[in-house]
Structure 1
């Protein structure tokens, strides 16, 4: 187990924020707009791995960054989902740092 460093705490916060925003958006706007639902659980999983202190967070963060990149693009394309786009972009940036 490793010590919680500020960059990891920021990533956890960004992942959990992204999870919440994406889940709320998926359950409301996406369903109404007929958009494809992107699975926000990877953000929650990445935060979980960092919180328990496993080095495997590097793997989940790498996948999370990839999935959130696609989610941001999908949300931008569907439109009227800027909060989700912004949350995904923050999550991507943090997760890329943690995966490095």
Structure 2
């Protein structure tokens, strides 16, 4: 059986806002509050909502900086943004294997 793996990164994902990736407008609109994780949020919304896909393992890469750690663990309270850990609960089952990978270059 093939394992369902999703790999995402925090930080530079907002640079993909204006690429040729095509998401449903509702997916893009719902992802706007999460610009620190924009493309991944829109993609997961599409995969889970439209294709009924549930990942079993997610690798979250993020810069080992105050901003990177805050984005992953706490979110951005001053901008009303949820943490990535909290957002993942919207998409994944309880048995999700969530692997954080700090220290990437941003």
TM-score, normalisation: structure 2: 0.37
More helix by share: 1
TM-score (norm: length of structure 1)? 0.38
Judging by fraction of residues, say which structure has more strand. 2
